[in-house]
Amino acid sequence: MDIPPPTPPGGISPYLTPSDANAAADFYIKAFGAEELARMKAQDGKRLMHCHLRLNGASLMLSDGFPEHGHPALPPQAVVLHLQVEDIDAWWKRAVDAGATVAMPVELMFWGDRYGQLKDPFGFMWSLGQTPKA
């Protein structure tokens, strides 16, 4: 019996096309504690047609590029994926230990949050923020 994949919750769900969607999904699971909800291979058995992850309570979806259908994998640009978290130090360490590189170290910012930016191995930028408890 085929079970349909889960439907993303409301709001905006990023849909990324990394250079290797299988490897990216595995990285996001390791680096950010994402939960895999669905992973569907393409007919060629190599590329991913669709992957649905739950990350920090929201949906993140991925697929490989399919240039033969007008959907190439292009280098990421002009996008930062933000995670607002409770324990930025733990999230930061896990991501860096998994292979993310530091683009902007975590610092206390003028707006009051601790905030930093990372780049994942697929070129996507991530920011992490934590609002101090009152």
Would you state the pLDDT for residue 8? Answer: 67
What's the confidence (pLDDT) of residue 1? 47
| 15-69 and 80-130 in the same fold | yes
- The two beta strands, 48-55 and 35-41, are antiparallel
Domain covering 80-130, topology: 3.30.720
Residue with tokens 């950010």: 32
Q: CA 97, 33, 31 angle in degrees (round to 5)?
A: 25
- pTM recorded for the entire structure: 0.90
pLDDT value of position 3: 57
Class of domain 15-69: alpha beta
Residue type, 14: P
Q: What is the pLDDT of residues 27-69, one digit of tens each?
A: 999 999 999 999 999 999 999 999 999 999 999 999 999 999 9
pLDDT digits (tens, 9 = 90+) for 89-113: 999 999 999 999 999 999 999 999 9
Residue 119 is inside which H or E element, if any?
A: strand 114-119
Q: For residue 36, which phi and psi values (nearest 5 degrees)?
A: -80, 125
Q: Domain limits of the chain?
A: 15-69, 80-130
